Amino acid sequence: MRQVWQMAEVMRRAHFKDFLMFCIVSLKYHYSVVVRSGFVTFVGRPNVGKSTLVNAICGVKISIVSNKPQTTRTRIRGVYHGEDTQVVFVDTPGIHKPVTHLGERVNATALESVTDVDVVCLLVDACKPFGRGDQWVADHIDISKAFVVVNKSDKATREQLLGQLQAVSVLNAAEYFPVSARTGDGVPQLLKALVSLMPEGPMYYPADMVTDTEDAQWVAELVREQLLAVLKDELPYSVATKVTEWEWPRVRCEIYVERESQKGMVIGKGGELLKSVGQAVRAQMPEGAFIELHVVVDKDWQQKPERLERLGY
Ligand code: GDP
Ligand code: MG
């Protein structure tokens, strides 16, 4: 009798254990398919470090960076993949006082990007006084729901950083974060706060996709980045790039300038400048790539709507 009772107890426990396992597995399955996902837009004046921060968060170069204002001309998306989370970061052109048709277009692109996203982050430079330009951007977003990100904390003195945090506190934003896109300081805290605000949603991108920029567009951007690094004065603003042929491994990229006099400056003495640009771009492309660069004069392209359209701006 006693044995029978013991057997029954073992079975009961075994069933209970099975039942428990079943519960754990199904709960785990349930939670593993629930994804938190959403969109975050970075806005701010030119040169505050929006593109650098998107690159730092996504862990790869998504957007080109330079020390010249208005480097980013289009809306660029970078995807952050966390554990059961996916955050799509939207890098935007710096908002500035436009003087050309291109300027108007890129400003409009930036301002359109703040609608229909889960969180907007207003980036400001810790080392520059919060000015009218920053305030103008703040006035064009729903600041009470936005995060204010004070970037370049590595470069600012302690007083500068505290002063800037105090200056932006009057904005009555949702939260404030001092960060350094360059060193990564403060970035995990910002990321954590952003992820916590993401609603339950679908995976917008496959797990191995970090950007939706097409290869040809990316190569054109890499060429422009190298040119921005070496060109001086107003010339960087006069340059546009477009890949016109893609017969892998041969890629032809055209570089547009606005005036005949600029052509020589881009080519450099004996073609040296263009050659070094090509080499630097090739170093960032898969092995075997062959990049052909051609400089084309397209008079005042910045002022021509149809040209801007063709260039994707
Ligand atoms: P954007 O115009 O707002 O996209 O700014 P970029 O990302 O192109 O950066 C503008 C310049 O600021 C570049 O020279 C960057 O290297 C630099 N920069 C960006 N973030 C930081 C940072 O956290 N610290 C420092 N010291 N420089 C930064
Ligand atoms: Mg940028």
- The torsion angles phi and psi of 121, rounded to 5 degrees, stand at -110, 125
Ligand that lies nearest to the alpha carbon of residue 109, given by its number in the listed order: 2
pLDDT attached to residue 16: 61
Q: Which atom of ligand 1 is nearest to the CA of 69?
A: 2
Helix or strand or coil: residue 42?
Answer: strand
Separation between Cα atoms, residue 120 and residue 42, nearest integer Å: 6
Which amino acid, residue 94? G
Question: Does residue 45's CB lie within 6 angstroms of at least one atom of ligand 1?
Answer: no
User: How far does the centroid of ligand 1 lie from the alpha carbon of residue 30, in Å?
Assistant: 41
> Ligand 2 centre and the CA of 95: distance in Å?
10
Q: Which domains can be identified in the chain, with CATH numbers?
A: 2-30 (no CATH), 35-201 (3.40.50.300), 215-310 (3.30.300.20)
Q: State residue 9's pLDDT score.
A: 59
At 24 the pLDDT is: 56
Q: Supply φ then ψ for residue 79, to 5 degrees.
A: -110, 130
pLDDT value of position 6: 55
Identify the pLDDT of residue 261: 93
Question: Ligand 1: which residue has its CA nearest to atom 14?
Answer: 67
pLDDT along the chain (313 residues), means of 10: 52 60 53 80 97 97 94 95 95 93 94 95 97 96 97 98 97 98 98 97 94 96 96 92 96 97 95 96 95 97 94 92
